Structure 1
Amino acid sequence: MILRVFGLSFAITLAALVTAFLYGGWNGLFICVILGILEISLSFDNAVMNATILERMSAFWQKMFLTVGILIAVFGMRILFPLVIVWATAGLNPGQALDLALNPPNPETPDNPSYETIMLEAHPQIAALGGMFLLLIFLDYAFDSDRRFWGRMVEPGLARLGRINNASVIVALAVLLAGSMAVDGDERATVLTAGLVGMIGYLAISGLTSLFDTSEVGREAAAAAELAGDGRGRPEPVVLVGKAAFMLFLYLEMLDASFSFDGVVGAFAITSDPILIALGLGFIGAMFVRSMTVYLVRAGTLAQYRYLENGAHWAIGALATILLVSLAVEVSEVVSGLVGVGFIGASLISSVRANRTERQVAH
């Protein structure tokens, strides 16, 4: 099964490495390998979170995620997104932005900022938009009382706070306001606007998904899934089709894009070459994230490790916090990667212990 799931990723990785060598020699090959490792290490929690959503989608929409979705991930986020940022912040059209990236100006001419400089200057907008989108995902999870709790203190306490109407939106707006106060006055309005765009995007997509998911058929399927759970308190996922599946697909792409923000921005600490970024982050990193997602779904990993979904949501909360903290303090991408892996690892250990205890009680 591993070869069947990861075979295409290995083939594309080999092709990307050959292309990187032909394009930039040994230096280009080395940078491409580093970028691929960076994206994979930062995105394991992304794969887990994607899997929790993908298992609710029909076979058709799963294929859409693996085909159209990968095109969006590679060309949309790893190639077009940086060009759009440069276009929006520097007044350059995408063609001029690409030319600037491929032909950097003389560093001794401050009046002509480089592609890398423009991207880094746009970090506050990127961090605010992605951070608020991810924060609402975490808050909606944390304040939900109708789920399995990981631990006996923190998650039950947060769920009790969720009894307050619109608790997640209230907290998110308070965090956005505090984050905007941490930046210079010239950037405050920009951060507020970007953060609100991230919130609106999440609320719109999740609201429409819930609307289509609460049809009579959806309620009956949910009730049946609750009865046919996995025996550990986790209901069988309700497979969505039609409009509900389409909205869930959009939600998944937005989630995937938000996770990729730190990787894209972090890549500019290594290189500003858009070709190498696309090869390393997109064709290698994004493909392996897709393969890991599919493997988790087909292997039934989420059902086997009961707290894995909880750990993924806490990793999302940590990444959202890191993005928002980075508005005022520079945070290394290594930190965000290690924190995410830490939560996933802790949830795996908790799941193994719970399964062992359950088996001992049964015998």
Structure 2
Amino acid sequence: MVLRIFGLSIVVTILALIAAFFYGGTTALFLTLILGILEVSLSFDNAVINATVLRRMSEFWQKIFLTVGVIIAVFGMRLVFPLIIVWLGARLNPVEAMRLALNPPTDGSQTYEQIITDAHPQIAAFGGMFLLMLFLGFIFEEKEITWLTWIERPLEKIGKLDQLSVVVASILLIITAEFIAPDDERSTVLFAGVLGMITYIAVNGLGELFNNDDDDDPDESADEHAQAQRTPGVDDAASVADAELRRSGPSDLAKAAGKAGFFLFLYLEVLDASFSFDGVIGAFAITADPIIIALGLGFIGAMFVRSLTVYLVRKGTLSEYVYLEHGAHWAIGALALILFYSIGTHVPEIVTGLVGVVLILAALVSSIIRRRNEPADAKDHIEV
């Protein structure tokens, strides 16, 4: 299974490295490899979150995400997106932006890298707000299983207040614009942050709306059928285990298809873009060459993140290691705050990556300890 899932990513990596070598020799090959490793190391939380959404989608939409979604991730976010920023920021069309990137000016005029860097405040505000809304939505909802119970349970209680996520996110955005953003970027940060919030509410809301419309009846009938077939006294342990599985993802009958699947796909793409913003900007600390960035972040990094996502879904890893989802969301919350803070102060990419990796590893260790200390079918509600 491992070879089947990661095989294509390995082949694409080899081809990307060969292309980098022919493009710019050993230097380009080395930079491409570094960027690929950087993207994968920074995207563990992205893969976990992708997996939590992907397993809710029908097989058709999973394939769309792994095909069309890869094209969008590789070419859209890692190659076209920086060119669009230059186009909007410097009023250069994509062809001129590519020419500027490949031939840096020597007369002191604005470079491709400087244009991308100057756009960081609005990019960070949009991506940070989208990720913050995702984190708050998770942390304020009631959950059968908690990881950091001492803080998650109180947050669940206050989360019963209507639209609390919007209130908290708005307050943090105002604080960011007022005290962190440069004076000449305040209005831009506010606008981009509000746009990020609207995008999250619209895409996530539409996905849930169509998912409920499409799946309520089949899901209910499936539950009724399972209850009718249940043998009292025999299936108690199995039903407990099934309850935990349902907590972590709907049944096959409830997998999102049609409009629901489309909006979940759209949600995943926006989510991937929000994760990608920081990586794309950070790549310029290594190289400003858009071809090398596309090869490293896109063809190597994005492909491996997709493969890791598929692996988590196919192996049922999130159901076995139940705190991974929690750790990923806490990593998202940390990343959102880092993006806000980075609007006024540069944050090294290594810090961003380590925060996410530490939280994911802590959640993984907690999950392993939980599996060792508790029988597989003992509980569906566990607090630590």
User: TM-score surpassing 0.5?
Assistant: yes
Counterpart in 2 of 1:322? 338
Cα distance in 1 for partners of 2:289, 2:223 equals: 48
Asked if residue 148 in structure 1 is aligned to residue 145 in structure 2, the reply is: yes
How many residue pairs match? The answer is 359
Shift of 1:210: 1.3
How big is each residue's C-alpha offset from its partner over 1:211-236, in whole Å with a ceiling of 9 and x where there is no partner? Answer: 11222633551685798674463414
Cα distance in 1 for partners of 2:161, 2:215 equals: 29
SS at structure 1 position matched to 2:149: coil
Select which of 233, 237, 251 maps to 2:244: 233
Asked if residue 4 in structure 1 is aligned to residue 20 in structure 2, the reply is: no
Question: In 2, are the aligned partners of 1:32 and 1:277 still within 8 Å (CA)?
Answer: yes
Question: How high is the TM-score relative to the length of structure 1?
Answer: 0.95
Counterpart in 1 of 2:16? 16
Cα distance in 2 for partners of 1:342, 1:232 equals: 29
Residues 1:83 and 1:360: Cα distance change in structure 2 (over 3 Å): closer
Residues 1:199 and 1:234: Cα distance change in structure 2 (over 3 Å): same
Question: In 2, are the aligned partners of 1:230 and 1:303 still within 8 Å (CA)?
Answer: no
Question: In 1, are the aligned partners of 2:126 and 2:194 still within 8 Å (CA)?
Answer: yes
SS at structure 1 position matched to 2:244: coil
Gaps of 5+ in 2: 227-238, 379-384
Counterpart in 2 of 1:251? 267
Cα distance in 1 for partners of 2:92, 2:122 equals: 17
Which range moves more in the overlay, 350-359 or 29-38? 350-359
How big is each residue's C-alpha offset from its partner over 1:16-66, in whole Å with a ceiling of 9 and x where there is no partner? Answer: 000000000011001001100110000111111100111011111111011
**Paired letter, 2:61:** W
CA RMSD after TM alignment: 1.8
Cα distance in 2 for partners of 1:247, 1:217 equals: 14
Moved runs in structure 1, 4+ residues, more than 4 A?
Answer: 222-229
Counterpart in 1 of 2:111? 114
Map of 1:286-325 to 2, 5 A cutoff?
286-325=302-341
Gaps of 5+ in 1: none
Question: In 1, are the aligned partners of 2:214 and 2:260 still within 8 Å (CA)?
Answer: no
Counterpart in 1 of 2:134? 137
Map of 1:88-103 to 2, 5 A cutoff?
88-103=88-103
Question: In 1, are the aligned partners of 2:132 and 2:333 still within 8 Å (CA)?
Answer: yes
Residues 1:193 and 1:96: Cα distance change in structure 2 (over 3 Å): same
Map of 1:1-363 to 2, 5 A cutoff?
1-106=1-106, 109-110=107-108, 112-181=109-178, 182-215=180-213, 217-218=215-216, 220-221=218-219, 224=222, 230-231=241-242, 233-235=244-246, 236-237=249-250, 238-359=254-375
Cα distance in 2 for partners of 1:242, 1:360 equals: 35
Cα distance in 1 for partners of 2:259, 2:240 equals: 25
Shift of 1:349: 0.9
Fraction of identical pairs, as percent: 57
Residues 1:357 and 1:73: Cα distance change in structure 2 (over 3 Å): same
How big is each residue's C-alpha offset from its partner over 1:141-178, in whole Å with a ceiling of 9 and x where there is no partner? Answer: 01001442113211111111111110000001111111
